[in-house]
Amino acid sequence: MEAQLQVKVISNEIVKPSCPTPPERRTRKLSFLDESFPAIHMPLLLVYTGKKEFTKPPLYDSPIITSLKTSLSETLTQFYPLARRLENEYTVSCNDQGIPFIVTSVDGQLNDYLNSPRKLDYLGSKFLPPLDILSLGELPITTVVPLAFQVNLFECGGVVIGSFGIHKLVDAISMLNFLKYWTAHASGRYSSLVQPDFDTIIRVFPPLSDNARVRISGGSGSSDDATGATGLSQHLNLPIKVVAKSFKFNNVDIKKLKVEGTSETVPNPTSFAVVVGFVWKHVIKAILSNDNDDNTSDDDPQAAIPTALTFGANLRSRTRPPLSMQSMGNIVACLHARLDYEHGNFSIYLN
């Protein structure tokens, strides 16, 4: 199937907000939480199947693609910081530069790629916007593009929309809010949505003062020469091997896991909890199995096998008082669970 995979760029343009940003919003300070995030990008893939009308020629001039671009432009007006550029590590310069919008045509059937054992390679390398348009790496942070989309159209009518969103400005909930607005604009249901809130995070988690930044960083606190070195390139140099796997769980499977995971201490386990617990459990089993194959004894001190689970938790519903789900920014905390296995005993630590 690799030889048949042909992704051809049909159009590559910049989509700008439909209305200019008001003067009072031209410069925007970031919250303390947003300041703490590096300029790395989160990948996202949205998969749609069976829409033959997407493939009617010419692709780049079809009513659906035109609608996507128009509604994206309208959405960027509401989510104005995402169409701008970072002035430094602490400030967004709202200059309405716009974001990349790429349309491609893909040979073959979408299901062939979704069912392939190498689907993560295909999806991650072919159907996301190219990294070079994001200006990552050693370039000044002022050139980093905060958001980009690539619409991939398949012969069968399937569509994969790939995107990168900069984590310094948005978390997963913020990105979900953006996509809801874009969908509503494209379908004409915009009037039913609540406006995004960019001000609450500044009020609840105000920006650090220059003096506070100096105390935390131990430096001058200036970011005039800030570069993307704090971003993706730095993280890719970590001396670890990352393995990505994909698993499918249908509703029946998840219901069974919930029954198995119900106990006095957890009477109503969530779908997230039971699926993550199931995967983590079997990762540990695989590690122990490999150790047994290597003839490692439980009595051997070298049998200590720590595994860690890290995930983001939405803080909006956990603050007092709770924040609106329309609150934009990185209102999230990283939680960690560590399980140590040594001498036949398991210990779990949470922080």
pLDDT of 274 reads 93
pLDDT in tens, 206-215: 998 776 665 5
Cis ω before 130 (30° cut-off from 0) = no
**In the predicted model, is pLDDT for residue 188 greater than 60?**
yes
Helix axes 251-261, 271-293, angle to 10 degrees: 80
Domain with CATH 3.30.559.10 in the chain: 2-236, 251-350
Q: What is the pTM of this model?
A: 0.81
Structure tokens at 337: 């669970």
Of 280 and 55, which is predicted with more confidence?
A: 280
Residue 10's alpha-carbon distances to 2, 59, 127, 185, 281, in angstroms, are 21, 7, 13, 24, 45
Name the least confident of 3-7, 45-49, 139-143, 263-267.
Answer: 3-7
User: 234: part of which helix (H) or strand (E)?
Assistant: helix 232-236
DSSP state of 20: P
What is the structure's pLDDT at 292? 58
Chain centroid to Cα 63, Å, comes to 28
Q: 296 pLDDT exceeds 60?
A: no
Greater model confidence, 182 or 299: 182
The residue behind tokens 């051809």 is: 8
Radius of gyration in angstroms for the set of CA atoms belonging to the chain, rounded to a whole number? 23
Q: Give the pLDDT band (50/70/90) at residue 316.
A: very high
Q: What is the structure's pLDDT at 237? A: 47
Q: Tokens 């701008």: give the residue.
A: 84
Q: Provide the CATH number for the domain formed by 251-350 in this structure.
A: 3.30.559.10
Query: How do residues 301-312 score in pLDDT, each as one tens digit?
Result: 444 567 788 888
Residue among 87, 89, 97, 96 nearest 39 (CA): 89
**What is the CATH number that goes with domain 2-236?**
3.30.559.10
The token duo for 65 is 């693609």
Phi and psi at 197, nearest 5°, equal -115, 105
- Ranges 9-13, 196-200, 226-230, 293-297: which has the least confidence: 226-230
Residue 46 confidence (pLDDT): 92
Residue pLDDT, tens place only, 21-49? 888 888 888 999 998 888 888 899 998 88
Task: Give residue-wise pLDDT tens across range 49-76.
Answer: 865 555 544 455 678 888 999 999 999 9
Contacts of 166 (CB under 8 A, 6+ apart): 39, 40, 41, 42, 144, 145, 146, 147
